[in-house]
Structure 1
Amino acid sequence: MSIRPPLKELNIKTHNKGFYKGFNRSVTVTSKILVTLVVIWILSDIENSGAILEAMKNWSFTNLNSYYTYAVAFYVLVCLAVILIPSFGRTKLGSDPNGKPEFSNFSWFSMIFGAGIGIGVLTYSAAEPLWHLANNPDTIMAKDMIIASLNSNNIPIPQDADVFALYQSEVAANAIPALDGIVVPKTEAALDAAYRYSFFHWGISAWATYSLVGICLAFFCYARNLPLTMRSALAPLFGRSLEGPLGNIIDISAVIATIFGIAQTIGIGLSSFASGLYSLTGMTWLVTDAANPEPTVGALLMSLLVVMCLSMASALSGVGRGVKWLSNINMVLSFLLLAFFLIFGASMFALEMLGKGILSYVIHLPAMLVTVWDPNTELGVWQTSWSVFYWAWWIAFAPFVGMFLARISKNRTIREFGLIGIVAPSLTLFIWFSFIGGTGINLEMSGIANGQIYNSGLTAQLFDIIGLMLSPAMANALSAMVVVLLLTYLVTSADSALLVINMVNAAGKVQVENGQKHIIVWTIALTAVIAALILAGGLDAITSAMMVAAIPFSFIIILMAISLLKALILDNRRAKEEILEINTEQ
């Protein structure tokens, strides 16, 4: 029995005149209304809206930690399957067997990295290993073991006591026996876990989520000739019903997730950008407290205005000009910064951490992907605050990054997409975390920093590391480069997101008659959303909104994965039938 041919036509209704000419009005107008209602709701009652967003985030942390954990594990499994199975991996993301990629490997990788998590790496590569060195699941489990041992030996534990210090003093006094496997915070014993979990959050899990969406979209667009929009990736499951309301709902979910996913990334970038300006200028209005500098609302709003004006200008110039050139500049400046740490940082220590961290990560990855702790325990609180937060962030970011990756990846194979789109950026991030974060750890563990980096805010720690390594003049020069790099990453992420939103609204079309006008409208809308969330509670409010927006799209990605597997399996069966028919005729 022959298999039906795949669906290669999807008629998505677009308007034929006026401002919305070339756009799907149901998707575009509904998305704008929903975004506008969110902004109005927040601004009408800033205090209560912030509290409601916080409650929604806490609910998702408590009730969805298992779902997010297993969903991301599923994304990783499917992504690895389509890359590693030979017949799947050699599938070309294009209909022309002789077609060539549009962008060089360097420009392609630059845009992947810049649009993906370039902003986060500047902030978290310095901060996250330090945070995990002080507190991670290994230290938490060690703390639980110590408390159980102290209780069993009837040794009182004073309120707010340093349990590890108490344990060490009791062991020294022979009051209790030494325990095996105790990982003490901020010591060499905690280094393994610090890097294992840093790599876990920024490695394969993140890039598999992005790449899965990108591979799905590129396959159905370039190999099936369907529109480059989210609904197309579900064609094997829902067929032509995607031309109507069901498809509109899917695309609207993608637009909303993109808005709040990019808001999270820009929010973190704005905080780092403002911290960098304070490090350079010392202007007190930029921070709330000079002793523990956190950006003020005014500093964040000023930074937002600068970033969004530049982003709109870049988006209006298109992918082949503004986005491409900014991405290339990002990569050059990034590697200059990395080269500085390679030469002048704690290089030998960093190389050791890189090797040991990758080995520990690979060994523990299967268990980490499926481990879920009770959210009401200290381990569960850590998991929701770190891992689940990241999974929601990557999912909310996936429609934007996935579609952008699909847009720039025509005529690549699935395996090429996977190897470059998952392995290469993961290894690059591991190097960043090892050399920049490792230098910060080395400064603290050697006593040079004396707690300065530990006690600093997350978005300011990179500037503290630079300040401790260099003279004031040289530190200012390098900090200035970091500020410029942050700005270019912010602009690249925002302008790429604006282009993707336009493509979804325009039923997958890259060039639309009124496209530039809509980019301006969406720039204003995105600016209004981020500004309103900043006023409602800063980064906490942005994170809360992102956590909620990620929920519906996380389910859509699961359906996209099933759809891709179904399409690839049926294609293999069709190919075998064709071979059988040819052999029979001969």
Structure 2
Amino acid sequence: MPIRPPIKELNIKTHDKGFYKGFNRIVTITSKVLVTLVVIWILSDIERSGAILDVMKNWSYTNLNSYYTYSVAFYILVCLTVILWPSFGRTKLGSDPNGKPEFSNFSWFSMIFGAGIGIGVLTYSAAEPIWHLANNPDTIMAKEVILSTLSTSGTRLPEGADVFAFYQEQITANTLAPIDGVIIPKTEAALDAAFRYSFLHWGINAWATYCLVGICLAFFCYSRGLPLTMRSALTPLFGKHLEGPLGNIIDISAVIATIFGISQTIGIGLSSFASGLYSITGIAWLVTDPVNPEPTTGALLLSLFVVMCLSIGSALSGVGRGIKWLSNINMVLSFLLLAFFLIFGATMFALEMLGKGIFSYVVNLPAMVITVWDPNTELGAWQTSWSIFYWAWWIAFAPFVGIFLARISKNRTIREFGLIGIVAPSLTLFVWFSFIGGTGINLELSGIAGGKIFESGLTAQLFEIIGFMLDPAMANMMSTMVVILLLTYLVTSADSALLVVNTVNSGGKVKVENSSKHIIIWGVALSSVIAALLLAGGLDAITSAMIIAAIPFSFIIILMAISLLKALILDSMRSREP
């Protein structure tokens, strides 16, 4: 019995006149109403709404840590399967066998990197290895071993004493023998874990999630001829039912996840941007405390206004102009910054950390991907505040990045898309973390920084590192370049998100005649969401909203993965039919 042909047409209703001409009114209006209601709810009682968001975040951390962990592991498994399986990997994401990619490899990679996690890497490449050097699962387990040993030996830990400091005092006094395998925080022994867990969070887990969504969308759009929107990727499972309410719900979920996912990214970027402005200008009102500078709400809101004005203008110019050129600019500036650390940073130390870190990451990856700790333990608390936070962030960010990657990847093969989209950004990030984070760690371990980098806020640590590397005038110039780079990443991410939201709302159309007004409206809506969340609790409130928004879309990605596998398997079977 012959296999039924695939669905190659999906009729998504769009309005044919007026303000919503070219747009699906149900998806567009419902999404706007939901976002508006969230903003009104937050602003109606800022303190109470912030507290409720925090409770919801803590609930998800406690109850969904296993779900998030195994979901991301599943995304990786499916993504690697479609890339490495010979017939699947050769599949071209386009209907023309002789079709050529729209963008050069450099521009393509620049847009992948810039729209993916370019903002985050500027903040976390400096901060995360430093934070993990002080606290990671290895040091937490070492603390448990020390406490157990002290208890067995009958030695009492003084109330309020630091476990590791007391342990080292006992060794020095010869009242306790050194314990094999114990990792002391902020020492060379903790380096392996510091980079291993940094690579875990920013490596394959992130990019496989993005690329899985991107491959699904590109396959069903360019190989099947379906609209470039989320519902198209589920046609092998739900067929023509996606033309109605079910498809609308899926697209609305994608829009909401995109808005809150990009809010998290922009929120972190704004904090780094404001910290950079303070580092350059020294203007007091930009930070709450000059000793431990954290950006004020006023500084964040001012930065938001500047970024969103520029983003709306760039989005109105389209992918081929504003976004493409901004992506190329920020990629050039990124490499200049990286070259600075390659030449003037702790080069040999960083190269050693890169090699050892990648080896440790690859060896431990299978176990790290599926390990879940009890959220009520210290290990579980670390996992929820770091790993689970990241998995939710990448999932919430996936509809935006996935549609954007699909939009710029026509006529690539699945294998090319996957390998370049996963391996190249991951390796690039590993280099960033090793050279920027490694330089900061080296400054601390050598005693030059004197603990000041450790004590700085997460978004200020890159500027602290630069301050220790250069004299004040040169440090100011380099910090200015970083601030400009942050601005280009912020604008690129925000304007890409606006175009993606418009694409979903228009039923998958890349270009809509009436799109300019809607780009402006969504730009204002995104700005309002971020501003309201900043007022309700700063970055913590944005994180809470993002984690909540990621929950429904995480399930949609699972369905998309199953749908893609079904489609590729059926295509392979059709090719063997007489």
Report the Cα offset of residue 165 of structure 1.
Answer: 1.8
Residue 280 of structure 2: aligned partner: 280
Quick one: distance in 2 between partners of 1:144 and 1:226? Answer: 55
For the pair 1:104 / 2:96, whether they are aligned, the reply is no
Report the Cα offset of residue 173 of structure 1.
Answer: 3.4
Quick one: distance in 1 between partners of 2:145 and 2:550? Answer: 36
Alignment of 1:137-152 (within 5 A): 137-152=137-152
Residue 165 of structure 1: aligned partner: 165
For the pair 1:35 / 2:56, whether they are aligned, the reply is no
Counterpart of 2:487 in 1: which secondary structure? helix
Residue 291 of structure 1: aligned partner: 291
For the pair 1:322 / 2:322, whether they are aligned, the reply is yes
Report the Cα offset of residue 180 of structure 1.
Answer: 1.4
Residue 459 of structure 1: aligned partner: 459
Quick one: distance in 2 between partners of 1:485 and 1:471? Answer: 21
Quick one: distance in 2 between partners of 1:173 and 1:386? Answer: 36
Residue 473 of structure 2: aligned partner: 473
TM-score, normalization by structure 2: 1.00
Amino acid at match of 1:207: W
Residue 253 of structure 1: aligned partner: 253
Counterpart of 2:117 in 1: which secondary structure? helix
Residue 265 of structure 1: aligned partner: 265
Quick one: distance in 2 between partners of 1:186 and 1:72? Answer: 30
Q: Which moved more, 1:153-162 or 1:328-337?
A: 153-162
Report the Cα offset of residue 408 of structure 1.
Answer: 0.1
Residue 132 of structure 1: aligned partner: 132
Quick one: distance in 1 between partners of 2:181 and 2:249? Answer: 51
Quick one: distance in 2 between partners of 1:284 and 1:340? Answer: 29
Residue 193 of structure 1: aligned partner: 193
Alignment of 1:221-260 (within 5 A): 221-260=221-260
Q: Deviations over 1:507-562 (max 9, x none)?
A: 00011121011000000100000000000000000000000000000000000000
Residue 383 of structure 1: aligned partner: 383
Q: Which moved more, 1:509-518 or 1:420-429?
A: 509-518
Q: Calculate the aligned-residue CA RMSD, in Å.
A: 0.6
Report the Cα offset of residue 177 of structure 1.
Answer: 3.2
Report the Cα offset of residue 35 of structure 1.
Answer: 0.2
Report the Cα offset of residue 158 of structure 1.
Answer: 1.6
Report the Cα offset of residue 159 of structure 1.
Answer: 2.1
TM-score, normalization by structure 1: 0.98
Quick one: distance in 2 between partners of 1:200 and 1:421? Answer: 16
For the pair 1:500 / 2:500, whether they are aligned, the reply is yes
For the pair 1:482 / 2:478, whether they are aligned, the reply is no
Report the Cα offset of residue 2 of structure 1.
Answer: 0.8
Quick one: distance in 2 between partners of 1:172 and 1:70? Answer: 44
Quick one: distance in 1 between partners of 2:379 and 2:427? Answer: 27
Q: Deviations over 1:473-497 (max 9, x none)?
A: 0000000000000000000000000
Residue 45 of structure 2: aligned partner: 45
Residue 584 of structure 1: aligned partner: none
Quick one: distance in 2 between partners of 1:511 and 1:378? Answer: 50
Residue 79 of structure 1: aligned partner: 79
Where do 5+ consecutive residues of structure 1 fail to align? 582-586
Report the Cα offset of residue 169 of structure 1.
Answer: 2.3
Q: Deviations over 1:359-410 (max 9, x none)?
A: 0000000000000000000000000000000000000000000000000000
Amino acid at match of 1:555: F
Q: Deviations over 1:20-77 (max 9, x none)?
A: 0010001000000000000000000001000000111111111110000000000001
Counterpart of 1:18 in 2: which secondary structure? coil
Counterpart of 2:567 in 1: which secondary structure? helix
Residue 310 of structure 1: aligned partner: 310
Residue 7 of structure 2: aligned partner: 7
Quick one: distance in 2 between partners of 1:141 and 1:557? Answer: 34
For the pair 1:65 / 2:65, whether they are aligned, the reply is yes
Quick one: distance in 1 between partners of 2:156 and 2:441? Answer: 33
Quick one: distance in 2 between partners of 1:213 and 1:438? Answer: 32
Residue 415 of structure 2: aligned partner: 415
Report the Cα offset of residue 171 of structure 1.
Answer: 2.9
Q: Deviations over 1:310-367 (max 9, x none)?
A: 0000000000000000000010000000000000000000000000000000000000
Quick one: distance in 2 between partners of 1:401 and 1:178? Answer: 49
Report the Cα offset of residue 161 of structure 1.
Answer: 1.1
Report the Cα offset of residue 167 of structure 1.
Answer: 1.5
Counterpart of 2:291 in 1: which secondary structure? coil
Report the Cα offset of residue 154 of structure 1.
Answer: 1.1
Q: Which moved more, 1:161-170 or 1:459-468?
A: 161-170
Quick one: distance in 1 between partners of 2:386 and 2:160? Answer: 24
Quick one: distance in 1 between partners of 2:238 and 2:78? Answer: 20
Quick one: distance in 1 between partners of 2:290 and 2:300? Answer: 16
Amino acid at match of 1:22: G
Counterpart of 2:453 in 1: which secondary structure? coil
Residue 528 of structure 2: aligned partner: 528
Counterpart of 2:454 in 1: which secondary structure? coil
Quick one: distance in 2 between partners of 1:63 and 1:223? Answer: 39
Quick one: distance in 1 between partners of 2:244 and 2:181? Answer: 58
Residue 117 of structure 2: aligned partner: 117
Quick one: distance in 1 between partners of 2:157 and 2:575? Answer: 69
Residue 435 of structure 1: aligned partner: 435
Quick one: distance in 1 between partners of 2:543 and 2:560? Answer: 25
For the pair 1:373 / 2:376, whether they are aligned, the reply is no
Quick one: distance in 1 between partners of 2:176 and 2:271? Answer: 46
Report the Cα offset of residue 160 of structure 1.
Answer: 2.1
Amino acid at match of 2:43: L
Report the Cα offset of residue 136 of structure 1.
Answer: 0.2
Amino acid at match of 1:69: T
Count, aligned residues: 578
Quick one: distance in 2 between partners of 1:160 and 1:266? Answer: 38
Residue 360 of structure 1: aligned partner: 360
Percent identity of equivalent pairs: 82
Amino acid at match of 1:198: S
Q: Deviations over 1:156-186 (max 9, x none)?
A: 1122211112122223334333221100000
